[in-house]
Every structure is written in C-alpha cells, then in structure tokens.
Amino acid sequence: MNAPLPPRGLRDVAPELARSWLLVAATRPEGFDEAAASPADAVVLDVEDAVDASRKDGAREDVARWLHGEGEAWVRVNDVTSPHWAADLEVLRSAPGLRGVMLAKTECGSQVTDTFNRLGGRVPVIALVESALGIENATEIARAEGAFRLAFGSGDFRRDTGMSADREAMAYPRARLVIASRCGDLPGPIDGPTVGTNHPLLREQSAITVSMGMTGKLCLSPDQTPVVNEVISPTRTDVEWAFTFLEDFDARGRIVRDGSDLPRLGRARKIMQLAEAFDVRIVVH
C-alpha cells in the first residue's frame, strides 16, 4: 500500500517536482508558520493580488522579516508594470529564506529576465501567465533567462478572455503552457487553483491537471494540499507496473525488443523517480 506522506520537515520535495503550491496572503503573517508546517510542497507568500495597494508596504516588510528569521518560502511579487515591483525585489533580494519568486501577470520573456537580474541573477522565477498575450508568448517566456517554471493564472485569464472554466475551454491555454515548458526545457507547468472547499471537485480538477501534462497546482488553503499531492503523485498501480517493467528489462539483459520498449522504459523510469521523490511505496512480493 502507499506509505503515508511524512510531515513537512521530513520531506523536502525539489521545487522542479513540487505538486502543491500553497498561496498565503501576506497580510496574514500569523499564518506563515502554519502554512510552512502544512503538507504543501511549496509555500508562496502573496504580496500581489491578495494585498490591497494601501497595505503593500507593511505586507512586504512582514514577509521580509519572516524570511530573515526561520522562514523559507516563495513570494508572489507584483508584475513588472506595477509601481510595487521594484520595491518588492529590493526588499526580498537579501532575504536568506527566499526560495524564489512567482512573477504575476507575465506577458513576455524580458519581464522574467529583468526580474531575475534585479534579484542578482541567482533567484529562480516562476512566470505566472494570466492573459491572452502571456499565453501566446508562452514559449518566449519559457526560454527566457531565469525562467524556472510556468504557472497558469486561470482566474485572471478567464477574466481577460471571457472564457469559461470548463475543461474544454481551458484545454488550449493549458496545452500551450505544457508545450512551451517542453520547448524551454522546463519542468511541467503549475495549474491554476480550484476555488472552494469541495474536495471531490478538487480531486476531479487535479486529475484534469495531470491529464493535460501539468505537474503542479496552486492551492488556496492548506487542506487542499494533501488532495493535490495524492492526485498528482503516481498511483500504486503505476509504481507496481514501472517496478515490474524495469525488473523484467534488467532480467533480459536490457535488450530492446520492439519500438514500444523505449517509450515504456522512459515512462517507467520517470514513475520510479517520482515515486521516490514523493515517497510512494509498494509492497514487493
């Protein structure tokens, strides 16, 4: 059976593989420690949409103070066209607990590179794509210097385009981000969040994330993160198949028999890599 996921602190999922990205409003510093202790693979402190313009300075300082202490997190910063962008980066660039930034409303590659350079050329940038223009420029964004992963700002994208949240309507922008990520040699992109507390809906939408080739999902509350982690992880059946295939491949001298062997070999190795990273265990007979 699948082993239970260990608590945060015993498990450190690499950000290129991270499944659940928990957004936390920077106006709630009392919740930072709780978020860090949650099962989320990554915590994102939000100084952008979650913070009114009148409270930006205070929220930014609270985030910096926590990152200068014991805290470690990513930070969603304001977009390049915002008057708050430069101040965000100036305060954050020296914070020892900064894991990376998520750049809001990314629409071109130069915005990623400018952010990366302003942070000293050492902090990874997740480009949050939230508009029609950003989706159409996704490959350029993915290939930009400093780009680490792409993420889908699905709510703002729907507002920008008037498209619905239906699976069919969202298939194009999701596919664009997946293909762009591959062209830019980036890990799989991070899908937009599911709004609400309906876990069956969250499970269903997380399965769509996986089916589209996306490998992470934004979360709006800590209780969403275990569901997202479970759905995006390989299943026990997947891991059993991969283990058996690799065992058989080794037993026959690693000889390729036909054209289907190499694709299956690649899939099996990827599943086993993820199973190890996510601590998905099987009983081997």
User: Mean pLDDT score of the chain, rounded to an integer?
Assistant: 91
Instruction: Pull the structure tokens for residue 50.
Output: 């979650």
Phi, psi dihedrals of residue 236, rounded to the nearest 5°:
-60, -40
Element counts in the chain: helices (H) and strands (E): 12, 8
CA–CA separation, 121 and 144 (whole Å): 12
CA proximity to 114, closest of 125, 105, 98: 125
pTM for the predicted model, two decimal places: 0.90
User: What is the architecture, at CATH level 2, of domain 20-232?
Assistant: Alpha-Beta Barrel (3.20)
pLDDT at 252: 81
Res. 281 pLDDT band, cuts 50 70 90 = confident
pLDDT at 158: 97
pLDDT at 283: 62
Contact of 112 with 87, CB cutoff 8 Å: no
Per domain, the residue ranges of the chain are 20-232, 236-278
- Would the pLDDT of 169 be above 50? yes
Q: Which position has the higher pLDDT, 48 or 12? A: 48
CA–CA separation, 151 and 102 (whole Å): 8
pLDDT at 242: 79
- Would the pLDDT of 59 be above 60? yes
Helix, strand and coil content of the chain, in percent to the nearest 5, comes to: 45, 15, 40
CA diameter of the chain = 67
pLDDT at 244: 83
Mean pLDDT along residues 20-42: 96
pLDDT at 188: 97
- Would the pLDDT of 260 be above 90? no
User: What separation in angstroms does the CA of 62 have from each of 25, 33, 44, 48?
Assistant: 11, 13, 14, 14
- pLDDT tens for 139-156 read 999 999 999 999 999 999
